[in-house]
Structure 1
């Protein structure tokens, strides 16, 4: 787990620290520093600048921290660093944005952020409510938050350490409860309005009784009071957000609801209090439409918020893996302290069954740790002194102590959360089409509503005012940019969260779309399809020899115990696994490319290839030579053993195929994907492994630059899977690079997808998941766009000339609310994908 990619810290803290009157503390990543002299030069230059105080530079982290007494001084800081030759790295800031309800809101927030000088990119995710901004280090993140807030969407900076983010940052339950409360209030107030109006239409006798008993004017007055209460209490959010947006010339979903319900309310109010202003035939009230519109849309938003809460379960579960406190050794005593106060080097006591607080290295004890919540692999991993432990995993039944190596945003758990958040915040290429449409959607809808009103007034039989108003309101309400805005991001959100549960981390969200189009998957061999560590897989004893197998292994392992060659280590490991005690060898001599000679218990030992036997003048056993050839055809390296001048055995050494590799290749073939293996081993060895696994194309003897060419020659739809430094170019060149999480940092940094564990079956899970996500997105887009294409004409009244019904604003509101709920609920099906 410690090989997961690091994420840079980019923060701009608020007024924390001893002096609450001081300016905000800012951290910059400074590049190019290589020694203490560099640090001294940077600190000296910063101290000379006006407007900043307490500059501190850390060579190990590459960060400069200071307090800004004058926010404008940050530009001087970055300029000075550039002139010194230590430029500040570009920054990435994240903002939590509230108040966004549709794709139009997203477009406005992105436009406002991109207009800020120094901002190179801004991506806003409606499903998560997070804005990710790449900008020049001279731009204060708080300034970006202020810009968004000024646009009507309250914005705050997100904290650096995702494991310490408050639960509500990944939990929509608070929003859902608030919206539920407003919905219930609206429902209670709306029911009498709805019953008195619609009940009379459904039951003429009930209508007659009501109006005779209470009087029409009194019933309208009651409906006016209750509907006004609905609009100014639970429904005020639509006017609070929608009307200012409309006045700014940037209408959005709330504007449509405010216009629709407001128009119905205004018309009904005039009919109630100033009826003389309306033609006698048009003196109707639509209080029930105004109230029911707000109530149904609040119902839809409540269900949507609940569904979003389920969609963010994966992140929330990861956040909850980090405990709040830990038992730490301090001054000879064990004290309980907040995890946030831990520092690298602290010794933490881990009780049986306790969750590991942060990353570290075991210093005392031996036991099993359950890492399934991070790797997806159910078998606990044994840990002893020197083994790494990962924050968020669960200790077994043994007490352990470990030394802290990483805290806060540098832990593996924090990096995993950050990777999932990065993927969730990404925009797929398919989103570009959605953005273009939604950017003009709401103004077009308002235009269609005005056109509808005009057409009804011109062509409908008199009195046309009331039905014209109903049609225009229905158009405003039926249109649903909410569903359009949620169609893509909510599927990404659920899909990448499900990937994290399966041990598949999408470092970039757009890899989801590219991976779904995979045509061929190329694998590195060593460490990816094989275990990456040679093992003794067979020993053949000569029929003419009196040396038994165990003795042959003992003598060979003793002689090889002084060698650092990987094949020698495999022989020694095999002997120890069989409980064989190894005597100390003497006179060990190696011959590069041939073998090794030594003396063990008075026996002259020679181990090597046929060239070593020939050089020593040893007559080889023909049967053993034949067996060696057989071993070679099965991807094993044959090594001969000579004892006291007699050829007594041949040993087969091989990098064993991972048990899951055969099933992985078979599953890829079932998905219709071609497989390839690109290896630096000889063609014969590579082909032997390829035959074992059933791989379609096998390329052996390939150098790193050859891997790069092979990937390019495969063409479009290419995926490459690897784990080593030599795989990095191919991982970067492939349309989608998938890194084995147990591999090197360089490989992981070059890939778009990371498999947390070493199981190659994760490739299949990633491919299945990406196809499921893209299928889900297509379903959502079809529903969102098809819904509007089909129902907006119905709302305009296109069916009326043919004897069809005119769509009621209440039904329009119900359908609009349903569309968003459908999109989110459909995305939630991805929680079972993979």
Structure 2
């Protein structure tokens, strides 16, 4: 990929400025521009990224020479160009001072806008009601209004002159400048030529609306964080030497070096394990549980060592610049160089609108001058400029976007910018991550049972598990301890030790030795679990935890990652809104299929990584690109770090809160669901549809008005003997802006439209939940009876807040069959069938 040219430019205010700069650079002999991206939503200095085609083999010296050439061209347009390292070297004090400066600038726009509108409306009312004023009163009014117009438009005059001289290209500032200067010239000339109109109020109103538009636009700009995934890695690492460990800068580590990572720390570099340990692979797969890492296993930067496990030594395979975290950042950077559709279309419209208005004003003046007195011709030409002033175009999108963002926030959704609104409205396909997004992301006890020949009761079993898992830092241990303590059990004290690779706990209670942990740990300790595992037939995605006393199994606990309570309702509603829902997860196919069946999702992509590591890309971004190549507009919904590249590659990224929510993933998402629920995702699309609809309505109304104003002021009214006073044109312009604001207010009060009421969805989902899995339950019962040699006393999880969605379904179905739902002292093999 060609190396980008990065600049930090001050002075650009909108997409029109960036389009002008892009056109200017394309005219230079620099090569074919592949991407041209300006962060116009950022405060100055705005980041500008440019890439050119066929520059993969460009040397560093040639790249620097071209960078300096581009910098010179940018400065030729009177923009200030900062050094490319500006964002990394700026101090906190400078940031604070810039923040205060932006607040002052914003306040000044509101103040100037209010001053222009109030003074302009007052002067307009005076001219319409008073008829004529004496000369001695008009002179100070003319001087004051002219001075105030120049003050309000000083920046616009400067920008118009700068662009006209350097680019010979008219902009919106050019139209503002021409119309207001023409108004002032004609108004001053009216003192000497009585048949010319005085319209000093027009300039005040034009710039009043202009400043209000800028102020509203500034209030919705979001500062985009420059944080990177690479910033998570420690700046220094422990280099494993022959005798001791030495602190070394991360950037100095090269392939082949050996480094030591302590428990709880982030793995900073890709490498290969030299000893066993326990690792969280959440950034890769999204899984919420730590995985056992064996000697020789490859690990990636961004993974994290579990707490209370052994330190890990790895042999580094790649330096920091080529690590998995660096590749994540690179993938995200490549995905964000896109412009919003409405932003592009509006910029194109303005590029034609401004010269068209100027041309029509001049043409109407010349043509009318051939048939009518010059005074009428001049008045009509100015009326065209004033009446068709595109100042309302500066209000439409900012007002609608600000209202839409505020409305979405009230319904649990935070939009990052106006681009997200447009993308959400066009989305037809929604791809969901599984762990932490559709599920709770926190392990929970689904079921437990005590084996029939075990010398303990259910309460004893829970008390033993609670004592062994007391103060556990492992997610599974925490969930077991919390579940056990919800029951009336006696308090026991255990002297315990952790297994070497964090797969269980050994302890002594009342002079008896106990072991709680995974089947792998039991088998390692000489306790056979094969028959029990074969009998239980765990569902895909569930985990088994066993308790043994003196190498004899007492019972088991099944751990699951339960679905969120509103997952089914959300998927159902989105489907009824016409969206196609996909499940894309790093989990295996059987686990993904299990959850997809419960939610009614038919499109499944399992075993998906965050980024491609080998040929035959099965990563989440690659899956999204396949859908996009088929013509779909795709939204990606995720929560963890492994979802960030897919969120960045999607047409719309939506981040949801979960136990493992990732801050950087939320920053790269276009919309963030602020509540721990999925239902606001529905509001994301409803608000977007209303916002874009409001923008289109107002743009259409503005275009119709401006077209009518140009035609009427340009000669149609004169043909029937009516000459439009520019003051009336300004009044109509004010009415137009008021109608646009009223339409925005209507949009603000408009209720969110959904295909079905949420309460009705709840009722339907409840009915569906009860009928999803009874047949599956009966099949499991028959299967278990065939292998039943180990009779159990079972206790289904009675707490709906800590049970899985699927297990609730099974429990209700079992209750309908009059099966027992409490653990008893008697042998009840039929209860064990619920596993």
Settle same-fold status: TM greater than 0.5: yes
Determine which of 674, 686, 691 is the counterpart of 1:773. Answer: 691
The yes-or-no answer on 1:447 pairing with 2:359 is: yes
Partner of 1:674: 580
Deviation at 1:448, TM superposition (A): 0.9
C-alpha distance in structure 2 between counterparts of 1:568 and 1:616, whole Å: 21
Q: Matched residue pairs, number?
A: 591
Partner of 2:651: 735
Determine which of 803, 811, 815 is the counterpart of 2:732. Answer: 815
| Distance change in 2, residues 1:827/1:94 (3 Å) | farther
Partner of 2:635: 719
Q: What are the superposed Cα offsets for residues 358-377 of structure 1, whole Å, 9 maximum, x if unpaired?
A: xxxxxxxxxxxxxxxxxxxx
Partner of 1:308: 216
Deviation at 1:233, TM superposition (A): 2.6
Q: Secondary structure at the match of 1:521?
A: strand
C-alpha distance in structure 2 between counterparts of 1:429 and 1:783, whole Å: 19
C-alpha distance in structure 2 between counterparts of 1:514 and 1:532, whole Å: 28
Q: Secondary structure at the match of 1:256?
A: helix
| Distance change in 2, residues 1:191/1:744 (3 Å) | closer
Partner of 1:341: none
Deviation at 1:723, TM superposition (A): 3.4
Q: Secondary structure at the match of 1:675?
A: strand
Deviation at 1:477, TM superposition (A): 0.9
TM alignment of 1:436-475, pairs within 5 A? 436-458=348-370, 460=371, 464-475=373-384
Preserved contact between residue 495 and residue 773 of structure 1 (Cα < 8 Å)? yes
Q: Secondary structure at the match of 1:537?
A: strand
TM alignment of 1:280-359, pairs within 5 A? 284-287=195-198, 290-297=199-206, 300-301=209-210, 304=213, 308=216, 312=219
C-alpha distance in structure 2 between counterparts of 1:121 and 1:618, whole Å: 61
Partner of 1:785: 703
Preserved contact between residue 358 and residue 385 of structure 2 (Cα < 8 Å)? yes
Q: Secondary structure at the match of 2:179?
A: helix
Partner of 2:193: 271
C-alpha distance in structure 2 between counterparts of 1:451 and 1:781, whole Å: 25
The yes-or-no answer on 1:93 pairing with 2:8 is: yes
CA RMSD of aligned residues (A): 5.3
| Distance change in 2, residues 1:673/1:183 (3 Å) | closer
Deviation at 1:450, TM superposition (A): 2.0
| Distance change in 2, residues 1:481/1:131 (3 Å) | farther
Deviation at 1:734, TM superposition (A): 3.1
Determine which of 566, 571, 580 is the counterpart of 1:665. Answer: 571
| Distance change in 2, residues 1:116/1:192 (3 Å) | same
| Distance change in 2, residues 1:471/1:229 (3 Å) | same
TM alignment of 1:553-564, pairs within 5 A? 553-557=462-466
Q: What are the superposed Cα offsets for residues 160-202 of structure 1, whole Å, 9 maximum, x if unpaired?
A: 655654556246443333444455555666665444537xxxx
Comparing 546-555 with 233-242, greater Cα deviation is found at 233-242
| Distance change in 2, residues 1:775/1:128 (3 Å) | farther
Preserved contact between residue 106 and residue 126 of structure 1 (Cα < 8 Å)? no
Q: Secondary structure at the match of 1:798?
A: helix
C-alpha distance in structure 1 between counterparts of 2:18 and 2:418, whole Å: 18
C-alpha distance in structure 2 between counterparts of 1:187 and 1:798, whole Å: 27
Deviation at 1:539, TM superposition (A): 1.9
Determine which of 428, 440, 455 is the counterpart of 1:531. Answer: 440
The yes-or-no answer on 1:430 pairing with 2:342 is: yes
C-alpha distance in structure 2 between counterparts of 1:497 and 1:531, whole Å: 28
Determine which of 253, 266, 280 is the counterpart of 2:175. Answer: 253
Comparing 486-495 with 788-797, greater Cα deviation is found at 486-495
Deviation at 1:738, TM superposition (A): 3.1
Q: Secondary structure at the match of 2:562?
A: coil
Deviation at 1:569, TM superposition (A): 5.2
The yes-or-no answer on 1:687 pairing with 2:587 is: no
Deviation at 1:810, TM superposition (A): 1.7
Deviation at 1:552, TM superposition (A): 0.9
Q: What are the superposed Cα offsets for residues 581-601 of structure 1, whole Å, 9 maximum, x if unpaired?
A: 4543679879999x8887654
The yes-or-no answer on 1:235 pairing with 2:149 is: yes
Q: What are the superposed Cα offsets for residues 493-525 of structure 1, whole Å, 9 maximum, x if unpaired?
A: 555576677775556753443232222222221
Deviation at 1:124, TM superposition (A): 7.9
Preserved contact between residue 153 and residue 177 of structure 2 (Cα < 8 Å)? yes
| Distance change in 2, residues 1:779/1:585 (3 Å) | same
- TM-score, normalised relative to structure 2: 0.57
| Distance change in 2, residues 1:490/1:585 (3 Å) | same
C-alpha distance in structure 1 between counterparts of 2:565 and 2:213, whole Å: 43
Deviation at 1:809, TM superposition (A): 1.6
Preserved contact between residue 656 and residue 676 of structure 2 (Cα < 8 Å)? yes
C-alpha distance in structure 1 between counterparts of 2:79 and 2:608, whole Å: 57
C-alpha distance in structure 2 between counterparts of 1:259 and 1:127, whole Å: 32
| Distance change in 2, residues 1:475/1:651 (3 Å) | same
C-alpha distance in structure 2 between counterparts of 1:684 and 1:126, whole Å: 44
Preserved contact between residue 193 and residue 226 of structure 1 (Cα < 8 Å)? no
Q: Secondary structure at the match of 2:587?
A: coil
The yes-or-no answer on 1:697 pairing with 2:619 is: no
Q: What are the superposed Cα offsets for residues 441-475 of structure 1, whole Å, 9 maximum, x if unpaired?
A: 333222211221232233x4xx5333323322211
C-alpha distance in structure 1 between counterparts of 2:409 and 2:28, whole Å: 34
